[in-house]
Chains A and B, each alone.
Chain A
Amino acid sequence: MDFLQPTSWADALAARAERPDAVAIAGGTDVMVDLNFDRRRPGALLDLGRVTGLREWAVEDGAGGVGGGSTVRLGAGVPYARIIDDLGAQLPGLAMAARTVGSPQIRNRGTVGGNLGSASPAGDAHPPLLAAGAVIEVESAARGTRRIPATEFFTGVKRNALAGDELIAAVLVPVAAGPQQYCKVGTRNAMVIAVSAFACALHPDRKAVGTGIGSAAPTPRRAPEAEEFLAGELESAGLWESRGELPDGLARAFGERVAAAASPIDDVRGSAAYRRHSLSVMARRAATWAWAQYRNDPRKAA
């Protein structure tokens, strides 16, 4: 097996184009497990650890975000530990998800870019990216940059929209305009792969609700019908403006719609029925917490 270690992004893209048999590796927390368990025997590893630009993040004004607000451009190689330390205010949902990843050692190594590359339905970063309306920036030496909305990025179980000669450069995540929550169920209290996970984001600036479901379908996915339902009910009751209490029945109905959007399976980690049930509970609670935060938010933006 060849070990390729480009030191610049251009060299990395060139290596990616030249070696279709290479597997890109960032923190290695997925790829090395596959190698050690003999599930993969790639011709080469393309280590992105020396491409320093991938480990940077910055706030960009205007341009990328869905609502025209500012956006965090998160380099694909920023480890979870730094997301927790640096970005809790801008990207609260992603930071909460990052806290649930593995152990401290794994959080020091693992990256959102790597998570997207693996595209596991259980990837912890995916639900908050879906809920926030993130866009993934990928690049190839031949065709340059293209931007893929997170909603279009996951194409199947552990498959994504990346072409063979492309690498993930960054994730563009709108800075939170409202509260975000992330919940993850596992059968122990730390270091566990999600049995099911749920992220939600309130977008008071555009009176919208974002969702993301993990580990309960072949891919991470949104629950669009639940989003529209909750946003619509909030709108028609004037709650965005009044910041009144969220009716318990509304939160419950939202939870049921989120559960209905999942297509879970029975596996060694949990049953399909439990996954659906847990999503309804998590979605109800997450919406309740997010709305409570919104009600107490000193920024009267809406």
Chain B
Amino acid sequence: MSTDVGTRTTTTPAGRIGDSALRPDGTLKVTGEFAYASDLWHDDMVWGVTLRSPHPHARIRGIDITEALTVPGVTAVLTADDVPGENAVGLEHADQPVLASEFVRYEGEPVALVAADHPETARRAAARIRVDYEVLPAVTDPLRAMDEDAPPVHRPGNLVRHLQLRRGDPSVTAPVVVSLDFEVGMQDQAFLGPESGLAVPAEDGGVDLYVATQWLHVDQRQMCLALGMPSEKVRLHLAGVGGAFGGREDLSVHVHACLLALRTGRPVKMSYGREESFFGHVHRHPAWLTYEFGAERDGTLVYARARTVLDGGAYASSTAAVVGNAGTLGLGPYRIPNVAVDAYGVFTNNPPCGAMRGFGCVQAAFAHEALMDELADVVGVDRIAIRQLNGMREGDRNITGQVIDSAAPVAELLQIVSDLPLPAEREDEPDLRSLPGAVGNTTHGEGVVRGIGYAVTYKNVGFSEGFDDYSTARVRLEMTGGEAVATVHTAAAEVGQGLITVEQQICRTELGVERVVVHPKNTAVGSGGSTSASRQTYVTGGAVKAACEAVRAVVLERAALSLGREVAGLRLDGEKIVGGSGEVLAGLADVLGEDAVEETVEYRHRPTHAIDPETGQGDAHVQFAFSAHRAVVDVDVELGLVKVVALDTAQDVGKAINPDAVVGQIHGGSAQGMGLALMEEVVVTDGHVRNPSFTDYLIPTILDMPPMQVKVLEYADPHAPYGVRGVGEPPTISSGPAVAAAVRAACGRALRRVPIRPEHITGT
């Protein structure tokens, strides 16, 4: 079989903690040789395709597959009746059918599957499946969906979660009051590698699934229930992942491909195209936010009130957890004594929404940062100064009453970005590419106004609200061909962020060896937890570190025994056992001989706790990561076109395990936040997606993204391995609001919705 190209073992040149070790997949990706999940191939495989609902809401009166079965080359046509286990999957609640049976609740919901010897044959056959739909009225306005008399998308009603948070005096007043309504459009993760997987039926009656995903074990749990099979029969292997950003937390091809493989007895490949991908994963929740700040005349916050509604779409996915963040973190990194927050997630017949980088904080940050600017202007304080005045400091309590027990450098981050050099003024005869509209040749400088905006954020790292968040690592140390080799095996998904490199760096540092083999990621080892919530370097990094420590302890004990010394004075470095004063006492080869030392460890961060249902108070989160951005934009105020001239940032990462990778995350996250501010939106009308393509869902190009100045702070979190702090999400949260603020500054309009479209700037 030639399938494991996406999960090949990898080694790279030396590099320990703090080095910018080269990533093993870097060159392969740049040269086009990296094997993504869409490159999976098996000699006798067939292709699976999905028939999806054209309606946002309908009752299925019947499905006739007769004609589809007659298409030559078709090997299977499956409907809900063919799901052997529970016909229900879901990240937090199993509320979504594997294949729709009685109702379809959103446009694009899977209804039937076809396997055939060619994908085109399968598609043609799928088009000949006759589904008898009774079209039903669709609930597509989330605010209307909250009404008591709104038709329920699910029984008993449309409320997924209401988070109520109360702190301090609910009736307090303040001399200065500012408020706003803000709306955030639906963003897509827009990962470049669409959903893909290959299911291979096994001789033991089980199935092996090679798939691009973010969390193998949560997929496995849902698949076992749907397939009616035990976990030892449902084995997952990570295939090459082309980006994720939260969009691969929910199942896509997983159960479908396995159903077809088990039915046909053939390996089955399923790969979505770009259009299907827009229907094949959840999006970022659109949000409607109403915020009010009360402050003293000097700008010191007295109270904050917020009401946030998130459109969860047709199924729960991770909506409840996103509401958790939008509520508990929804007022930003500020000290606010009196707080009332109500955050809601609701069902509609719109596309399901769930996890995306920034997870509930992104939407909230647009509102609280716009309002903070407004407050600054009303009280006549500089926009940096007002944030510094109200910014959290270490030891403060946040709005859930949790003590911030490590660095909270809000004021410093803002100072750094505001002190960075500003970009040069526009030249007299500028290159078109440096202007709004670029080679579209819409301005030679006419109408162009420069604006500057700032934003700051904080984001929880890891899973919150009492979730048992852990990762498992197996580390093995042995001599191979006269050289010490460490093998690290975790199920933690590498989705492009660089986890494989981090695992190698930790092994080298802890075991003092150069060669580290990263075992293919699969379910043969315990869960690594999700590659999300900026948590893998912390949690899986912590697990690898702990497993290395366990291996090292065994090795040193053996060495101590054979050397007749105390363990306490011994170290492992450069394949040598080293004594207290650096003297080499023995070679690692002498201690290990033919043996391998292997240890498997589960690592947990400090527990988090559920919040009080009445007050929202509690230690909900384990760690907080802070970042600030300054955006400089040139806006053609007559045409509403924007050129981001500079997007500079400062972020505290605790400890940069791999500095280049840290900066890469910050670049990418900033671009994604800027995309939401200016162009990225899945446009949904009456439950129908109107732009499911990269022709009309626009993501920033290299001409839209400026070079960045990135300042990385390393204030170690004493509770985290090596002091690390999650990196991936904060830049996505603070960059967009900074860009929006800069555009507001340039054009003088309130701009209470993102993405900001040209007509919002021109007012036409």
Tell me the A residues contacting B by CB distance below 8 Å: 33, 36-38, 96, 99-100, 181-193, 195, 268-271, 273-274, 276-278, 281-282, 285, 289
Q: Give the shortest distance, in Å, between A131 (CB) and chain B (any CB).
A: 14
Is there contact, CB below 8 Å, between B683 and A183?
Answer: no
Give B756's nearest chain A residue, CB to CB. Answer: A187
A188 CA to B758 CA in the complex, in Å? 10
A-B contact pairs, 9 of them (CB 8 A): A188-B703, A189-B437, A189-B703, A191-B701, A270-B759, A271-B759, A274-B758, A278-B639, A285-B446
Is there contact, CB below 8 Å, between A282 and B442?
Answer: yes
Q: Give the shortest distance, in Å, between B642 (CB) and chain A (any CB).
A: 8
- Answer whether residue B643 sits at the interface, using C-beta atoms and an 8 A cutoff: yes
Partner of B758, one of A182, A184, A270: A270
Is there contact, CB below 8 Å, between B273 and A36?
Answer: yes
A38 CA to B120 CA in the complex, in Å? 10
Partner of A289, one of B275, B444, B698: B444
Instruction: Please give, as numbers and ranges, the residues of chain A lying within 8 Å of B639 by CB-CB distance.
Output: 185, 278, 281-282
Is there contact, CB below 8 Å, between B764 and A273?
Answer: yes
A100 CA to B439 CA in the complex, in Å? 6
Scan B752-764; emit 1 where CB is below 8 A from any A CB, else 0: 0000011100101
Kindly list the 8 A-B residue pairs having the minimum CB-CB distance in the complex, ordered from nearest.
A274-B759, A277-B764, A189-B438, A190-B703, A184-B440, A189-B703, A268-B690, A190-B701
Tell me the B residues contacting A by CB distance below 8 Å: 123, 273, 275, 433, 436-444, 446-447, 638-641, 643, 678-679, 683, 690-691, 693, 695-696, 698, 700-704, 757-759, 762, 764
Is there contact, CB below 8 Å, between B679 and A185?
Answer: no
Is there contact, CB below 8 Å, between B696 and A269?
Answer: yes
Give A184's nearest chain B residue, CB to CB. Answer: B440
Q: Give the shortest distance, in Å, between A154 (CB) and chain B (any CB).
A: 21
Instruction: Please give, as numbers and ranges, the residues of chain B lying within 8 Å of A185 by CB-CB distance.
Output: 437, 440, 442, 639, 641, 758
Partner of A274, one of B640, B678, B701: B640
Q: Given contact pairs A37-B275, A183-B437, A189-B437, enumerate 13 new A-B contacts (beta carbons under 8 Å).
A: A96-B441, A187-B678, A188-B700, A189-B704, A190-B701, A268-B696, A274-B640, A274-B757, A274-B764, A277-B759, A282-B639, A285-B444, A285-B446
Is there contact, CB below 8 Å, between B704 and A183?
Answer: no
Q: Give the shortest distance, in Å, between A277 (CB) and chain B (any CB).
A: 4
Instruction: Please give, as numbers and ranges, the residues of chain B lying within 8 Å of A268 by CB-CB distance.
Output: 683, 690-691, 696
A300 CA to B353 CA in the complex, in Å? 64
Q: Give the shortest distance, in Å, between A274 (CB) and chain B (any CB).
A: 4
Q: Give the shortest distance, in Å, between A271 (CB) and chain B (any CB).
A: 5
A4 CA to B122 CA in the complex, in Å? 26
| Contact flag A190-B438 (CB < 8 Å), given A270-B759, A274-B759 | yes
The SS class assigned to the A binding surface is mixed
Is there contact, CB below 8 Å, between B439 and A99?
Answer: yes
A191 CA to B700 CA in the complex, in Å? 10
Q: Give the shortest distance, in Å, between B370 (CB) and chain A (any CB).
A: 21
Instruction: Please give, as numbers and ranges, the residues of chain A lying within 8 Å of B757 by CB-CB distance.
Output: 187, 270, 274
Instruction: Please give, as numbers and ranges, the residues of chain B lying within 8 Å of A188 by CB-CB distance.
Output: 678-679, 698, 700-701, 703-704
Is there contact, CB below 8 Å, between B698 and A190?
Answer: no
Is there contact, CB below 8 Å, between A281 and B439?
Answer: no
Give A41's nearest chain B residue, CB to CB. Answer: B124
| Contact flag A193-B704 (CB < 8 Å), given A99-B439, A185-B442, A185-B641 | no
| Contact flag A181-B440 (CB < 8 Å), given A189-B643, A274-B764, A278-B758 | no
A285 CA to B437 CA in the complex, in Å? 13
A77 CA to B101 CA in the complex, in Å? 51
A277 CA to B440 CA in the complex, in Å? 16
Q: Give the shortest distance, in Å, between B383 (CB) and chain A (any CB).
A: 27
Partner of A190, one of B275, B439, B442, B758: B439
Q: Give the shortest distance, in Å, between B113 (CB) and chain A (any CB).
A: 18
| Contact flag A183-B440 (CB < 8 Å), given A188-B698, A188-B700, A190-B703 | yes
Instruction: Please give, as numbers and ranges, the residues of chain A lying within 8 Å of B640 by CB-CB distance.
Output: 274, 278
Instruction: Please give, as numbers and ranges, the residues of chain B lying within 8 Å of A182 by CB-CB distance.
Output: 441
Give B447's nearest chain A residue, CB to CB. Answer: A281
Instruction: Please give, as numbers and ranges, the residues of chain B lying within 8 Å of A189 by CB-CB distance.
Output: 433, 436-438, 440, 641, 643, 701, 703-704
Is there contact, CB below 8 Å, between B440 and A187?
Answer: no
Q: Give the shortest distance, in Å, between B411 (CB) and chain A (any CB).
A: 34
A187 CA to B679 CA in the complex, in Å? 7
Is there contact, CB below 8 Å, between B704 and A190?
Answer: yes
Give B701's nearest chain A residue, CB to CB. Answer: A190
Is there contact, CB below 8 Å, between A285 and B758?
Answer: no
Q: Give the shortest distance, in Å, between A24 (CB) and chain B (any CB).
A: 22
Instruction: Please give, as numbers and ranges, the residues of chain A lying within 8 Å of B438 by CB-CB distance.
Output: 189-190
Is there contact, CB below 8 Å, between A277 and B123?
Answer: no
Is there contact, CB below 8 Å, between A181 and B441?
Answer: yes
Instruction: Please give, as numbers and ranges, the residues of chain A lying within 8 Å of B683 by CB-CB distance.
Output: 268
Q: Give the shortest distance, in Å, between B71 (CB) and chain A (any CB).
A: 15
Give B695's nearest chain A residue, CB to CB. Answer: A193
Instruction: Please give, as numbers and ranges, the residues of chain A lying within 8 Å of B441 by CB-CB distance.
Output: 96, 100, 181-184
Instruction: Please give, as numbers and ranges, the residues of chain A lying within 8 Å of B442 by CB-CB distance.
Output: 183-185, 281-282, 285
A273 CA to B764 CA in the complex, in Å? 6
Is there contact, CB below 8 Å, between B701 and A38?
Answer: no
A128 CA to B698 CA in the complex, in Å? 26
Q: Give the shortest distance, in Å, between B484 (CB) and chain A (any CB).
A: 47
Give A273's nearest chain B residue, CB to CB. Answer: B764
Instruction: Please give, as numbers and ranges, the residues of chain A lying within 8 Å of B446 by CB-CB distance.
Output: 285
Instruction: Please give, as numbers and ranges, the residues of chain A lying within 8 Å of B701 by CB-CB distance.
Output: 188-191
Give B702's nearest chain A residue, CB to CB. Answer: A190
A210 CA to B337 CA in the complex, in Å? 66
A186 CA to B759 CA in the complex, in Å? 12
| Contact flag A38-B123 (CB < 8 Å), given A187-B758, A270-B758, A285-B446 | yes
Q: Give the shortest distance, in Å, between B644 (CB) and chain A (any CB).
A: 9
Instruction: Please give, as numbers and ranges, the residues of chain B lying within 8 Å of A277 by CB-CB distance.
Output: 759, 762, 764
Most A-side CB within 10 Å, residue of B275, B442, B691: B442
| Contact flag A37-B638 (CB < 8 Å), given A185-B758, A274-B764 | no
Q: Give the shortest distance, in Å, between B743 (CB) and chain A (any CB).
A: 13
Give B694's nearest chain A residue, CB to CB. Answer: A191
Give A276's nearest chain B residue, CB to CB. Answer: B764
Give B644's nearest chain A residue, CB to CB. Answer: A189
A76 CA to B150 CA in the complex, in Å? 57
Instruction: Please give, as numbers and ranges, the residues of chain A lying within 8 Å of B641 by CB-CB distance.
Output: 185, 187, 189
A276 CA to B641 CA in the complex, in Å? 15
Q: Give the shortest distance, in Å, between B458 (CB) and chain A (any CB).
A: 30
Is there contact, CB below 8 Å, between A37 and B693?
Answer: yes
A271 CA to B763 CA in the complex, in Å? 11
A289 CA to B445 CA in the complex, in Å? 12
A274 CA to B763 CA in the complex, in Å? 8
A274 CA to B758 CA in the complex, in Å? 8
Give A37's nearest chain B residue, CB to CB. Answer: B275
Give B697's nearest chain A residue, CB to CB. Answer: A268
| Contact flag A187-B443 (CB < 8 Å), given A277-B762, A281-B638 | no
A36 CA to B272 CA in the complex, in Å? 12
Instruction: Please give, as numbers and ranges, the residues of chain B lying within 8 Å of A274 by CB-CB distance.
Output: 640, 757-759, 762, 764
A282 CA to B641 CA in the complex, in Å? 12
Q: Give the shortest distance, in Å, between A28 (CB) and chain B (any CB).
A: 15
Instruction: Please give, as numbers and ranges, the residues of chain A lying within 8 Å of B447 by CB-CB distance.
Output: 281
Q: Give the shortest distance, in Å, between A92 (CB) and chain B (any CB).
A: 11
Instruction: Please give, as numbers and ranges, the residues of chain B lying within 8 Å of A187 by CB-CB distance.
Output: 641, 678-679, 698, 757-758
Q: Give the shortest distance, in Å, between B656 (CB) and chain A (any CB).
A: 32
A90 CA to B438 CA in the complex, in Å? 23
Instruction: Please give, as numbers and ranges, the residues of chain B lying within 8 Å of A192 by CB-CB distance.
Output: 440, 698
Q: Give the shortest distance, in Å, between B186 (CB) and chain A (any CB).
A: 13
Instruction: Please give, as numbers and ranges, the residues of chain B lying within 8 Å of A273 by CB-CB distance.
Output: 759, 764
A289 CA to B432 CA in the complex, in Å? 14
